[in-house]
């Protein structure tokens, strides 16, 4: 079997995917029409032409603009089901997905529409295709600690159906420490914890996320290589990193895939995984990311298998279920 085919067929978990970032241009246009939301674009080509970014901030402006098309439970249901179908086709057996409540609350969407629509699609996907999934609420780091506490509180009626709390948004100038008490409270309530760190920000933000927020996984984490002590700590504890190579390329976090830190991290024995982040914006799902990295970094079949195994190890699944896959 060719290595490309091997990567595609390998069972894998996707652990870093924003549902709002998986709204394909056709779906964006359809939802805008359905909800009478005006977009600055009229067709798919105009949307694709607009998806050129110089940095994370640049992308987030379009990401938040895209969120405006989501209004009702049906919309959240449809984007979730579309993503899970696409993921299943990439042999994703389990997905842990982010949803950013603050973007939607600001657009006047209610909690029930957001969560009931999303959770219903997750159940449907498991029933129809056997793909399991979990939902992580992504807090926005440019907003206040008080607002983050309010999100945590408001999510409690759905506590048993939610997997975790994450931290995303514009990283530079927004160090994670501000959310230390929120993350402590979330841990007490039994949520798994993740944070975007070291994407555009420095290694210090990765260290702070681990030491002060007590996260179970680092989202991105590219910059950790600048701190050898931190690398040793992450490798020894098998703290997973959810890397998103095509996202990094599109947002100029790396100059080329050939210079992506992924292979160095693998060599250092870190628990690295490959993910798609916002596949509709960065034009690549999980297998596209895997295959592009395999080529650019000359990864071996064993390297790819290690990352497939890592993705299951890093998932917030019970050990019995994990053994089903590897």
- Residues annotated within the binding site are 16, 18, 196, 277-278
Q: How far is CA 39 from CA 61, 104, 109, 111, 223, in A?
A: 13, 16, 18, 24, 35
- CA 168 – CA 192 distance, rounded (Å): 15
Whose CB is nearest to ligand ADE?
A: 168
Active-site residue set: 199
Nearer to Zn ion, 277 or 303 (CB): 277
Token reading at 171 = 């990283």
Nearer to ligand ADE, 247 or 311 (CB): 247
Using rule CB under 6 A, residue 63 touches ligand ADE: yes
Token reading at 310 = 């890592």
Nearer to ligand ADE, 90 or 278 (CB): 278
From candidates 21, 164, 201, 308, binder to ligand ADE by CB under 6 A: 21
Nearer to ligand ADE, 18 or 309 (CB): 18
How many residues bind to Zn ion according to rule CB under 5 A?
Answer: 1
Q: Residue 160 carries which DSSP code?
A: G
Percentages (nearest 5) of helix, strand, coil residues in the chain: 55, 15, 30
**Binds 260: which of ligand ADE, Zn ion, none (CB < 5-8 Å by kind):** none
What is the smallest separation between the CB atom of 18 and ligand ADE, expressed in angstroms? Answer: 4
**Binds 12: which of ligand ADE, Zn ion, none (CB < 5-8 Å by kind):** none
**Binds 21: which of ligand ADE, Zn ion, none (CB < 5-8 Å by kind):** ligand ADE
Length of the chain: 326
Instruction: Kindly identify the residues of this chain, within the stretch 173-202, that bind ligand ADE according to CB under 6 A.
Output: 196, 199
Binding mask 95-134 for ligand ADE (x = CB under 6 A): ----------------------------------------
Q: How far is CA 55 from CA 58, 62, 115, 201, in A?
A: 5, 12, 30, 12
What is the smallest separation between the CB atom of 51 and ligand ADE, expressed in angstroms? Answer: 13
Q: Which among 85, 173, 97, 183 is positioned nearest to 134, based on CA atoms? A: 97
**Binds 201: which of ligand ADE, Zn ion, none (CB < 5-8 Å by kind):** none
**Binds 281: which of Zn ion, ligand ADE, none (CB < 5-8 Å by kind):** none
Nearer to ligand ADE, 18 or 104 (CB): 18
Q: Alpha helices of the chain — where are they, by DSSP H?
A: 3-9, 25-35, 44-50, 56-67, 73-89, 101-106, 111-129, 145-154, 180-188, 203-211, 228-237, 245-250, 262-267, 279-282, 286-296, 301-314, 319-322
Token reading at 228 = 């050898």
> Measured over all CA atoms, what is the biggest interatomic distance in the chain, rounded to whole angstroms?
53
Instruction: Kindly identify the residues of this chain, within the stretch 267-296, that bind Zn ion according to CB under 5 A.
Output: 277
Contacting positions for ligand ADE (CB under 6 A) = 18, 21, 56, 63, 168-169, 196, 199, 247, 277-278
Contacting positions for Zn ion (CB under 5 A) = 277
């Amino acid at each position: 079997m060719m290595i490309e085919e091997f990567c595609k067929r390998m069972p894998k978990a996707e652990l870093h995917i924003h549902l709002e970032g998986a709204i394909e241009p056709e779906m964006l246009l359809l939802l805008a029409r359905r909800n009478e939301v005006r977009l600055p674009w009229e067709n798919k080509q105009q949307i694709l032409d607009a998806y050129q970014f110089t940095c994370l901030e640049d992308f987030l402006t379009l990401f938040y603009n895209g969120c405006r098309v989501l209004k009702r439970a049906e919309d959240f249901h449809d984007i979730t089901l579309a993503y899970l179908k696409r993921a299943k086709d990439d042999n994703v057996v389990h997905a842990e997905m982010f949803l950013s409540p603050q973007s939607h609350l600001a657009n006047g969407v209610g909690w029930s529409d957001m969560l009931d629509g999303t959770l219903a699609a997750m159940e449907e996907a498991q029933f129809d295709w056997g793909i399991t999934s979990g939902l992580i609420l992504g807090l926005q780091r440019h907003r206040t600690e008080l607002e983050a506490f309010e999100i945590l509180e408001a999510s409690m009626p759905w506590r048993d159906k939610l997997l975790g709390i994450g931290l995303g948004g514009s990283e530079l100038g927004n160090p994670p420490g501000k959310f230390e008490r929120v993350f402590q409270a979330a841990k007490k309530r039994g949520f798994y914890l993740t944070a975007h760190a070291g994407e555009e920000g420095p290694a210090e933000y990765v260290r702070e996320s681990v030491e002060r927020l007590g996260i179970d996984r680092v989202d991105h984490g590219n910059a950790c290589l600048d701190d050898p002590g931190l690398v040793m700590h992450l490798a020894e504890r098998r703290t997973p990193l959810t890397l998103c190579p095509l996202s990094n390329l599109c947002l100029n976090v790396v100059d080329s895939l050939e210079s992506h830190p992924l292979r160095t991290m693998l060599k250092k024995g870190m628990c690295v995984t490959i993910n798609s982040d916002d596949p509709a914006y960065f034009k690549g799902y999980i297998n596209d990311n895997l295959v592009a990295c395999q080529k650019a970094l000359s990864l071996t079949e064993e390297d790819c298998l290690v990352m497939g195994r890592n993705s299951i190890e890093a998932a917030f699944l019970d050990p019995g279920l994990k053994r089903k896959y590897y």
